[in-house]
Amino acid sequence: MAYTLPKLPYAYNALEPYIDAKTMEIHHTKHHAGYVTKLNNALQKHAEWHDKSVEELLGHLSQIPEEVRSAVRNNGGGHANHTLFWQCMTPFPIKSVPNGSLAAAIDKEFGSFEQFQKAFNQAALTQFGSGWAWLIITSSHELAITSTPNQDSPLLKGHQPIFGLDVWEHAYYLHYQNRRAEYVDQWWNVVNWEFIEERFGKLIG
């Protein structure tokens, strides 16, 4: 079964002024759509993999036929990363910080939400070139901040992404140009903590 581009849960202009409509539209209809098309193309001759979820593909990359392994890593990663990214944002955030078990886990690991945010921003700013900053549950069940280059998913290393921030220039350049720090700061205004808390709850079971 073919992978498909998910619909955005809000309009392209819904995240303004923090993320502009043009950026959202190109990001979704060109970049994300491109990853989906290329992932489908790569697996066209490998029907046995086409039935797997994209998370399964990324979690078993070494078993993917070598001739399409890089294509699956890049485009499967791009598909999974963006699908999560859209859900982690909302035009109507009803809270600016997490509560509950996620808040407790963040405080325990990082000292406070402010310290966590500072460390996450640092990961986003120091990722050289294109990539992502992440909050993950590591393969040894610890909460951690990490970054990945290109479209690499934390799943490649057996980590579970809780949420991620896209720091490719395509995610911010039209509005923020080279000012990645400003984009990262403003992005917190549209984070969907409700969704992320729920996801965290499911991941830790």
CB closer to Mn ion, 169 vs 194 = 169
- Give 37 or 138: the residue with its C-beta nearer to Mn ion: 37
Query: Which of 37-45, 113-121, 160-168, 189-197 is the region at the interface with Mn ion (rule: CB under 5 A)?
Result: 160-168
Give the list of residues 6+ apart from residue 202 with CB closer than 8 angstroms, or none. Answer: none
Applying CB under 5 A, the site for Mn ion has a residue count of 3
Q: Which is nearer to Mn ion, 139 or 178 (CB)?
A: 178
Judge whether 37 and 76 are in contact, CB under 8 Å.
Answer: no
Q: Residue 112 Cβ, how far from Mn ion at the closest point, in Å?
A: 30
Stretch that binds Mn ion, among 98-106, 126-134, 153-161, 171-179 (CB under 5 A): 171-179
Q: Which helix (H) or strand (E) holds 176?
A: helix 173-176
Report the nearest approach of Mn ion to the CB of residue 32 (Å).
7
- Alpha carbon of 175 to those of 7, 69, 81, 94, 178: distances in Å? 23, 34, 22, 25, 9
Which one of residues 155, 166, 180, 199 is an interface residue with Mn ion (CB under 5 A)?
166
Q: How far apart are CA 12 and CA 126, in angstroms?
A: 28
Asked if residue 59 lies in contact with residue 158, where contact means CB atoms within 8 angstroms, the answer is yes
Binding residues (CB under 5 A) for Mn ion: these are 166, 168, 171
